[in-house]
């Protein structure tokens, strides 16, 4: 009965998390647009942050309650899930072609940010407040650079037109603020509920909170990216589909891990360094080569999407066998 309550809490948490994240992004985007912010800047900043809001709040609650493994697993697991599952599924449904020059500049930044995090963590096998400050400073630099590029390319980049169609342009400010406020409140409550259920499940089943973060929580918090990417790809808005994942992974890598290090510095479990972090780096590198256009125009084909999905399935099986064997 106790496990059933925990499962209900996790499912309810996921449902409310997805609903509130969508309302938060819509409200924040409409509010910013009503204040005169350009759709491209909104898309690169608010939407990128909003799609990572579930991971950020889950990490903050988990770390504050003494479960940094859940927070670390959620950040790394979400990055793995975003590339292997989200982009894999999206490419199988609708092969993606990259047109945006801004996104092509984001790929190497994401890869460098991933390497920076890996070096900081591997150096002393510890995620602490100094690492968190480095990550936060790097994230700010990247955001300022992206805004500069958005202003510079505001009349030429095809990503602008896609964001123009997606970001609300005629929403009354009162409604936008209501969606923003209610989204934030329910995001916080649902994140707390999800963490409570996940920690209880880990304790009762004798599974580490890291594994729960890498699997159940990571997949659940990546569901908004999965839905958004598939819908964008079906509407031929391939740059938005990829941009959502790149932006989310950037915030997960630097922001979510940074928040975790600030709230609850922690030693890393051995599996993070030998299994999870290397896979995150490999997948980020694969995304870089697939979508950056070294072979001509950047694209992710159905075959490449199938490869990404196969990697994700193999990784989940590996985690399951390690838990079963342990």
Write out pLDDT tens, residues 225-263.
787 788 777 877 777 778 788 888 999 999 999 999 999
All domains in the chain, ordered by first residue: 44-159+206-325 (1.20.1420.30)
The string of pLDDT tens digits covering residues 104-149 is 777 888 889 999 999 998 888 899 999 999 999 999 998 888 777 7
Residue 292, pLDDT above cutoff 80: no
Question: How would you classify the pairing of strands 96-97 and 126-127?
Answer: unpaired
Q: Is 11 exposed, middle or buried (0-12, 13-18, 19+ CB in 10 A)?
A: middle
Residue 52, pLDDT above cutoff 90: no
CB atoms within 10 A of CB 112: 13
Mean pLDDT over each residue of the chain, to the nearest integer: 85
Task: Give the pLDDT confidence score for residue 114 in this predicted structure.
Answer: 92
Please work out, in degrees rounded to the nearest 5, the angle formed at the alpha carbon of residue 61 by the alpha carbons of 57 and 64.
135
Higher-confidence position of 142 and 158: 142
User: Residue 32 in contact with residue 176, Cβ under 8 Å?
Assistant: no
d(CA 50, CA 43): 10
> DSSP code of 268?
P
Picking from 123, 126, 156, 162, the residue whose alpha carbon sits closest to that of residue 42 is: 162
The number of residues in the chain equals 326
**Span of 88-97, 127-136, 166-175 with lowest mean pLDDT:** 166-175
Q: What is the pTM of this model?
A: 0.88
- Mean pLDDT confidence for 20-41: 81
Helix, strand, or coil (residue 65): coil
Higher-confidence position of 159 and 124: 124
Residue 167, pLDDT above cutoff 70: yes
Three-state DSSP string of 121-170: HHHHCEECHHHHHHHHHHHHHHHHHHHHHHHHCCCCCCHHHHHHHHCCCC
Distance spanning both ends of the chain, measured CA to CA: 25
Helix, strand, or coil (residue 208): coil
38 torsion bin: left (phi>0), alpha (psi -120 to 50), beta (else): beta
- Mean pLDDT confidence for 200-223: 87
User: Residue 143 in contact with residue 279, Cβ under 8 Å?
Assistant: no
Residue 293, pLDDT above cutoff 70: no
Higher-confidence position of 292 and 186: 186
Residue 295, pLDDT above cutoff 60: no
User: 170: Cβ–Cβ under 8 A, 6 or more apart, which residues?
Assistant: none
User: Residue 92 in contact with residue 302, Cβ under 8 Å?
Assistant: yes
User: Residue 46 in contact with residue 28, Cβ under 8 Å?
Assistant: yes
């Amino acid at each position: 009965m106790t496990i059933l309550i925990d499962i209900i809490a996790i499912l309810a948490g996921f449902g409310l998390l997805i609903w509130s994240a969508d309302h938060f992004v819509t409200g924040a985007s409409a509010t910013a647009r009503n204040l005169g912010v350009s759709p491209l800047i909104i898309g690169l900043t608010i939407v990128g942050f909003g799609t990572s809001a579930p991971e950020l709040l889950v990490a903050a609650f988990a770390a504050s309650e003494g479960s940094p493994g859940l927070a670390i697993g959620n950040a790394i697991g979400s990055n793995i899930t975003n590339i292997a599952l989200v982009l894999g599924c999206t490419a199988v449904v609708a092969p993606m072609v990259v047109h945006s020059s801004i996104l092509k500049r984001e790929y190497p930044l994401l890869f460098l940010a991933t390497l920076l995090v890996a070096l900081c963590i591997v150096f002393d096998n510890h995620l602490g407040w100094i690492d968190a400050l480095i990550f936060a400073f790097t994230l700010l630099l990247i955001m300022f650079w992206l805004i500069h590029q958005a202003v510079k390319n505001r009349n030429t980049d095809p990503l602008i037109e896609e964001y123009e169609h997606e970001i609300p342009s005629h929403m009354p400010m009162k409604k936008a603020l209501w969606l923003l406020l209610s989204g934030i409140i329910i995001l916080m409550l649902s994140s707390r509920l999800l963490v409570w259920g996940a920690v209880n499940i880990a304790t009762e089943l004798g599974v580490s909170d890291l594994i729960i973060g890498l699997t159940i929580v990571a997949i659940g918090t990546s569901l908004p990216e999965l839905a958004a990417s598939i819908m964008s790809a079906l509407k031929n808005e391939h740059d938005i589909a990829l941009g959502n994942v790149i932006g989310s992974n950037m915030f997960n890598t630097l922001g979510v891990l940074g928040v975790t290090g600030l709230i609850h510095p922690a030693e890393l479990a051995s599996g993070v360094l030998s299994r999870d972090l290397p896979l995150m780096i490999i997948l980020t590198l694969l995304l870089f080569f697939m979508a950056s256009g070294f072979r001509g125009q950047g694209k992710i084909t159905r075959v490449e999407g199938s490869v990404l999905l196969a990697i994700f399935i193999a990784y989940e099986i590996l985690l399951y066998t390690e838990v079963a064997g342990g």
